[in-house]
Structure 1
Amino acid sequence: MRTGWLNKFSGVALLWMTSISMAEPAPSPQTLEQLDEAIQTRMAEQNVPSVSYAIFNQQGLIHNQALGVKDRQSATPATTATLYRAGSVTKTLTAIAIMQLIEQGYFDLQTPVHTLVRDLPIVNPYHETHPVRIVHLLEHTAGFDDMHFKGIYRDDELLNAHATALQVDPEPLQVRWPPGAMFSYSNPGYGVLGAVIEQISGQRWEDYVQANIVTPLGMKHSVLTIAEALERDHALPYQQDEPSAAMSAIYLRAAGVLWTTPEDLSVLARFLASDGATAPGLLSVPSIRRIKQPQSTLAAQAGLDFGYALGVYHSVVNGRHFIGHNGGITGFFASYGFDPATGIGYATLHNSDQVGGAFARLITDYLNQAYPQTPKALPIATPSPALEGWYRLANSRNELMRLPEWLFAVARWQNVGEKVVLNPLVNDSIELVVSAEQRLAEADDPVWTGQIIADGDKLAGFSLDGQFFRPVSAFSALAPPVLLLLALAGLLSAPFGRRKALQARSLRRWPTLAAVSLLAMFGLTFNLSLQTVAQINLTTFGIFLASLLLPLAVIGGWVSIARYWATETAAIAKWRCLIGMLSATYITFLFANFHWIGLALWAW
């Protein structure tokens, strides 16, 4: 999956993320010394304390390097044995554990999960025809929301059962569309898999994975708890310049607790790349190949072999095809991947969350120079004119961010000769090509990354890099964001004007209150962090109050208009106030429809 494409349509990116200005690209590193220099330059630019990385092939490690310090206060250098939190890379281990239990005959990928673990808080309105199956959890196609804020961090590292931990935040387990249709990344789905592993094995998730995967694979440094990591050589987490409070434990351990090194991630990646040859007997060749093959989405069912599979996903980085995973947890970032054609790969970890996949891109840039591949042109066909038009994102990852995605995650498909130009409403256009089998790819990609989906004789939409877009009319795509921009202009200009122009000054006070509440609601979000957003504090309570004041101001404003409109003589001023109230009403309608009124983030 290509992070840049996902971020084009990310509501989080629209509201809470700032873009990094890009300088002229530096020359590609030709040697390992130049690669180290490039990484150190980027570390200095982004204030990253340390980066540890490895390069490998199917025979073993090619290069293993640690740069920088694991702890700024003591200035202790990081080593190749220094542990880092790897976040969602943990999902690869959980998927291997599930496949082991399948090989032991306990269930299969098509087994409905409710038959394995009772009393899970899954709400599935499609249960009779589309139950949530094991494969849906592994491939993130159950239709779940991602975890809510209250379900991320916990105060203590209590290793209680995953079935119990899921009760803390059950809301994401509400199925939003028929399972087995669209990809939507969901950490709670892997929490459910943790409950399955514990139920079937009779062991804690940590104990099973350590004994049956980590130890026999030879991941000699890796541990699965904070307590164990603190007893070993470990890096401290950093947000900007200071140590963060990110040593907090998490509820959904099967989704993200691994502490590891690049050497150990290389061991894991080589096991998958070699179809198990590096650890015979751990898992059969067919099972390992299935781990690398997505099958449950509509795109996969149509023949696309790119996307999220079982605890790993396919990506294109610097024009090269990789299979692997990344992981981000406050203060840390991890990434590993291997080229399925050659087995060459990388693993990288760093103790800052200011930079995501930048170091992986530098390493893969070097791999392209040191281990070049012969470019292979994809066979393309002329795209059908019936595909032209507007599309809207249909598979939001987070329900909380569905409003900005509904407004702005739209794109126009235009055929230009044998190519397609996809013009997002937000961000730059991209150029696509189409195959005779209705596959999609960006123009320079080495593999097909998307699929046009038919529903009988009708166009259902298209999937590109995991994101599913449904066709909509131009009016449906453009009217909501245009109306929002007009509403913002109308509301934010309503408080201004000659102070004494109105006899009934409440006509202006209500739209002013609505504007202030809107500005306060969004201004306060800049004070949030993952550690504070799930707590009742001045910021979250302020957002809650501001989201309530908006509809109250709308009600008050319309009462005032009904009472004073006929007698108010300042025509221009009162019409401006009316426009302000219409604007506030439209924004309130949007907020209410997407559950942003009374927004209690600590309970979300």
Structure 2
Amino acid sequence: MKNKILTAMTLLGGIVSSALFANPVPLDFNQLTTQLETKFADLNVPGAQVAVFDDKNILWQNHFGFADSAKQTPVSDNTLFRAGSTTKTFVGLAIMQLVNQGKFTLQDDVLQLEPRLLINNAWQNTDPVRVIHLLEHSAGLDDMHFRNFYNVSEPDITILDAVNRDAASLRVRWQPGSRHAYSNPGYGILGHLIELYSGQSFEHYITEHVLLPLGITQCHLNSSNIPEADLSAGFVDGEAVAFRQIYLRSAGNLHCTAAGLAQLGSWLLSRGQTDSVPYVNPQTIQQMEQPESTLAAKQGLAYGYAKAIYHATRNGREWLGHNGGIDGFLTSYAYNRDLNLGYAVMINSSSASMRQIVDTITQLLAQNAPLPDATLLPIDLENLDGYYRVSNERNQIFAGISFSTAVAKLTTSGSTLVVAPLLGDASEYVYLGQGQFAKAGEGFAKVSVIGNTVEGFAIDLDGDYLIKTSFLSAWLPLIMLGFIFSVFLLTLCYAPVWCINALRGKLTSRQQLWLRLMPLLTVLCLVAVISALFNLSLFETAYINWQTLTIYIGSLAFAISSAIALWLVMRALKTESSCFARYFTVVSVISANFLAVYCYHFDYLGLALWQW
């Protein structure tokens, strides 16, 4: 059947009409097949499925490679892949159904809908977490912690208990609705609300009220009902990974085919004109595509994460859809309304670049269609130039890293805004008016100036929430950390020198030996921690093992040895005859203590990852 479709499309020249352009967009699916085969080989992707659709049906689909490379089991059009977070669009549709049925509203306080949730919100009295905040990832919740990733011991746990067992991720970090930060626990809560207000398991509800009405019969939310032979194996760097259940099932437990996701995409692209899903109409889908809850959205920015559908840029165009990633698998589906086309792609590797694959597809889909244009205006905003720090970390555990690295300098000139990260390449944006900017070469706004907030002057830049800071605050952490690690490298290089001197009897006192040894031990503790981190897989993070124990003990030992080294330096410095050793030791010890204080501030000392 696939070959017949391919032959027919080739004979017809692969012509698909675009609703908004006078010239049709030719699609050469033979060329796409060839390019994808090359790309999958280059990226070491064992197997894949790809589908292309318009607002009426699937235009083309194909499969590639192996579902299990060890057994040489080929992928077919019916092979199921783990679809990860693309599950969220189905959950979003289910929530909108319940809203349209009057079960609750998007503005309802989640804790009033379900008081058993362990949400910790310092703004509860004035700014509660609302349903819309969970849908748009703007509640301020942390993303799931390591201990709440994979469920290997509690097969019957409820979604409510799965959410609450990671109560630390339910602490609201900033005023709800101020900014976006992707948070899987929010969709765990939404899955529970579906169960609570429908009286059915979320798997059964979505199957009966969303999947089957759409005619999607090859997508499953309960993996226990799937024959093993129908499910592709997953791979990381060419190595097979074990299949593991996840705790937050409603955030990412879908198993599907590319054709199934293409059916969803085609229906969304038509804005539900087929009227097949109860309690969902074209206005509902339009609302799902439009961000509402963040400060940037309230300023009129239409780009961003909406209600389980988000906006992404591919080859200068705006696409709507969702991506998914889970151990061993990557998924993406999206559609473009100007082209009236979309794609769905699923691969059984989580170490490949989905971006390269999607760019290959979207470049062909839009090969002859003009890019959207924008009318540029002179920038009429004040107080915009300066340094900004990203302040919407997805995982709070990485805040210490982003604090020193996720900083950029913004400079305006004429109609152009230049964003120059301290680390990385600069990007240019052009002014469209009303505080909004488009990336140069694109015709749609991705940046919105929010203005003064309680935290300072803020900008939303392609999903990053930037707060203005000073030149000193921007550069000092990065410079200090760079200096500290340079000193630590010199400490390691200096060690063989003084060790040889000690063996030759040139270090005559115990104080001289300890003065050199303690800074080295401090650095070695840090080296042990870093080594353990680089040898730690995501699954192992949630358990006690040599890596997580090394991180826990090594980080504490680093802080303790830093303090002891400082005490020894204060006692023995005057007895040291070597000028270099005296001053270098002071610099090394002060650097270690500065880093220890920095780590303490960001809760990295005594970090028990198995409890995080």
TM-score if structure 1 supplies the norm length? 0.92
The question of whether the paired residues in 2 share the 8 Å contact of 1:383 and 1:434 is answered with no
Q: Give 1:260's match in structure 2, choosing from 253, 256, 262.
A: 256
* Alpha-carbon shift at residue 383 of structure 1 (Å): 5.5
The 5 A counterparts of 1:176-575 are 176-231=173-228, 233-245=230-242, 247-282=243-278, 283-355=280-352, 356-369=354-367, 372-382=369-379, 384=381, 386-455=383-452, 460-495=457-492, 496=494, 497-498=497-498, 499-500=501-502, 503=509, 504=511, 505-575=513-583
**Cα distance change, pair 349–280 in 1 and its aligned pair in 2 (3 A):** same
For residues 355 and 201 of structure 2, the distance between their equivalents in structure 1, rounded to whole angstroms, comes to 32
The question of whether the paired residues in 2 share the 8 Å contact of 1:161 and 1:198 is answered with no
* Alpha-carbon shift at residue 374 of structure 1 (Å): 5.0
For residues 228 and 212 of structure 2, the distance between their equivalents in structure 1, rounded to whole angstroms, comes to 18
The 5 A counterparts of 1:45-64 are 45-64=42-61
For residues 125 and 222 of structure 1, the distance between their equivalents in structure 2, rounded to whole angstroms, comes to 40
Deviations 1:152-208 (A, max 9, x none): 001157253211111221111100000000000000010111111111112111111
Aligned to 1:584: 592
* Alpha-carbon shift at residue 351 of structure 1 (Å): 0.2
Aligned to 2:22: none
The secondary structure found in structure 2 opposite 1:372 is coil
The secondary structure found in structure 2 opposite 1:219 is coil
**Cα distance change, pair 32–140 in 1 and its aligned pair in 2 (3 A):** same
Letter in 2 for 1:197: I
Cα root mean square deviation, aligned: 1.8
For residues 439 and 522 of structure 1, the distance between their equivalents in structure 2, rounded to whole angstroms, comes to 41
Deviations 1:29-56 (A, max 9, x none): 9722221111111211121111101000
The question of whether the paired residues in 1 share the 8 Å contact of 2:218 and 2:260 is answered with yes
Letter in 2 for 1:485: G
For residues 157 and 343 of structure 1, the distance between their equivalents in structure 2, rounded to whole angstroms, comes to 44
The question of whether the paired residues in 1 share the 8 Å contact of 2:238 and 2:349 is answered with no
For residues 169 and 444 of structure 1, the distance between their equivalents in structure 2, rounded to whole angstroms, comes to 43
For residues 156 and 481 of structure 1, the distance between their equivalents in structure 2, rounded to whole angstroms, comes to 42
**Cα distance change, pair 159–218 in 1 and its aligned pair in 2 (3 A):** farther
Letter in 2 for 1:366: L
| Segment of structure 1 superposing worse, 525-534 or 49-58 | 525-534
The question of whether the paired residues in 2 share the 8 Å contact of 1:293 and 1:309 is answered with yes
* Alpha-carbon shift at residue 276 of structure 1 (Å): 1.1
Moved over 6 A (4+): 456-459
* Alpha-carbon shift at residue 281 of structure 1 (Å): 4.6
Unaligned 5+ segments in structure 1 are 1-28
The question of whether the paired residues in 2 share the 8 Å contact of 1:161 and 1:204 is answered with no
The question of whether the paired residues in 1 share the 8 Å contact of 2:48 and 2:64 is answered with yes
The secondary structure found in structure 2 opposite 1:387 is coil
The secondary structure found in structure 2 opposite 1:565 is helix
Report how many aligned residue pairs link the two structures: 574
Q: Indicate the structure (1 or 2) with the bigger Cα radius of gyration.
A: 2
* Alpha-carbon shift at residue 385 of structure 1 (Å): 5.5
For residues 225 and 527 of structure 1, the distance between their equivalents in structure 2, rounded to whole angstroms, comes to 32
For residues 83 and 281 of structure 1, the distance between their equivalents in structure 2, rounded to whole angstroms, comes to 23
Deviations 1:104-134 (A, max 9, x none): 1111000000111122111000111100000
* Alpha-carbon shift at residue 480 of structure 1 (Å): 0.7
For residues 63 and 56 of structure 1, the distance between their equivalents in structure 2, rounded to whole angstroms, comes to 7
For residues 563 and 456 of structure 2, the distance between their equivalents in structure 1, rounded to whole angstroms, comes to 43
* Alpha-carbon shift at residue 382 of structure 1 (Å): 2.5
* Alpha-carbon shift at residue 562 of structure 1 (Å): 2.4
The 5 A counterparts of 1:11-90 are 31-90=28-87
| Segment of structure 1 superposing worse, 518-527 or 63-72 | 518-527
For residues 396 and 456 of structure 2, the distance between their equivalents in structure 1, rounded to whole angstroms, comes to 25
TM-score if structure 2 supplies the norm length? 0.91
The secondary structure found in structure 2 opposite 1:481 is helix
The question of whether the paired residues in 2 share the 8 Å contact of 1:116 and 1:199 is answered with no
The secondary structure found in structure 2 opposite 1:380 is coil
* Alpha-carbon shift at residue 550 of structure 1 (Å): 0.7
The question of whether the paired residues in 2 share the 8 Å contact of 1:536 and 1:602 is answered with yes
The 5 A counterparts of 1:73-222 are 73-155=70-152, 158-222=155-219
For residues 231 and 487 of structure 1, the distance between their equivalents in structure 2, rounded to whole angstroms, comes to 52
* Alpha-carbon shift at residue 384 of structure 1 (Å): 3.7
* Alpha-carbon shift at residue 600 of structure 1 (Å): 1.1
The secondary structure found in structure 1 opposite 2:518 is helix
The secondary structure found in structure 2 opposite 1:216 is coil
**Cα distance change, pair 373–82 in 1 and its aligned pair in 2 (3 A):** farther
Identity of aligned residues (%): 35
For residues 455 and 165 of structure 1, the distance between their equivalents in structure 2, rounded to whole angstroms, comes to 38
Unaligned 5+ segments in structure 2 are 1-25
The secondary structure found in structure 1 opposite 2:542 is coil
Letter in 1 for 2:196: Q
Letter in 1 for 2:359: R
For residues 575 and 265 of structure 2, the distance between their equivalents in structure 1, rounded to whole angstroms, comes to 76
Deviations 1:463-487 (A, max 9, x none): 1111111111110000111011111
For residues 186 and 289 of structure 1, the distance between their equivalents in structure 2, rounded to whole angstroms, comes to 23
For residues 456 and 491 of structure 2, the distance between their equivalents in structure 1, rounded to whole angstroms, comes to 44
For residues 602 and 361 of structure 1, the distance between their equivalents in structure 2, rounded to whole angstroms, comes to 38
Aligned to 1:594: 602
The secondary structure found in structure 2 opposite 1:288 is helix
For residues 457 and 85 of structure 1, the distance between their equivalents in structure 2, rounded to whole angstroms, comes to 42
For residues 162 and 341 of structure 1, the distance between their equivalents in structure 2, rounded to whole angstroms, comes to 39
For residues 436 and 372 of structure 1, the distance between their equivalents in structure 2, rounded to whole angstroms, comes to 26
